[in-house]
């Protein structure tokens, strides 16, 4: 039995347990962002658009400077377009009349 302060986990955040967001992690976030953006054009754009934008932004390393992967930029752009179209659709649906069309 471990006494107070003498637990089995001395360094819970050692170097082996933490990782930087490089390589496959960023690529995976970019692909998830693109998939969410494309799916958002067909259903739940108000939810999937911001998710795609955030995933793309995180895949770019939270900065516009430096090298950026193409899927990350595509996720950010399509997510922003998706969000704007969803907001325009919601605004058009709430106006008096027949909606957007």
pLDDT in tens, 9-59: 555 555 554 555 556 688 899 999 999 999 999 998 899 999 999 999 999
69 neighbors 26 (Cβ within 8 angstroms): yes
Alpha carbon of 70 to those of 6, 27, 31, 33, 57: distances in Å?
A: 48, 10, 10, 12, 12
Task: Report pLDDT digits (tens) over 52-96.
Answer: 999 999 998 877 777 778 899 999 999 999 999 999 988 887 777
What is residue 31's predicted lDDT score, i.e. its pLDDT? Answer: 94
**Burial class of residue 29, CB neighbours in 10 A (0-12, 13-18, 19+):** buried
């Amino acid at each position: 039995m471990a006494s107070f302060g003498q637990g089995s986990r001395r360094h819970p955040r050692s170097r082996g347990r933490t990782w930087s967001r490089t390589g496959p992690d960023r690529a995976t976030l970019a692909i998830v962002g693109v998939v969410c953006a494309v799916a958002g054009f067909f259903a739940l754009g108000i939810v999937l658009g911001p998710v795609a934008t955030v995933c793309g932004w995180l895949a770019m390393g939270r900065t516009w400077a430096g090298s950026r992967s193409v899927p990350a930029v595509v996720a950010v752009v399509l997510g922003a377009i998706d969000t704007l179209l969803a907001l325009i659709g919601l605004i058009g649906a709430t106006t008096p009349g027949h909606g957007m069309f």
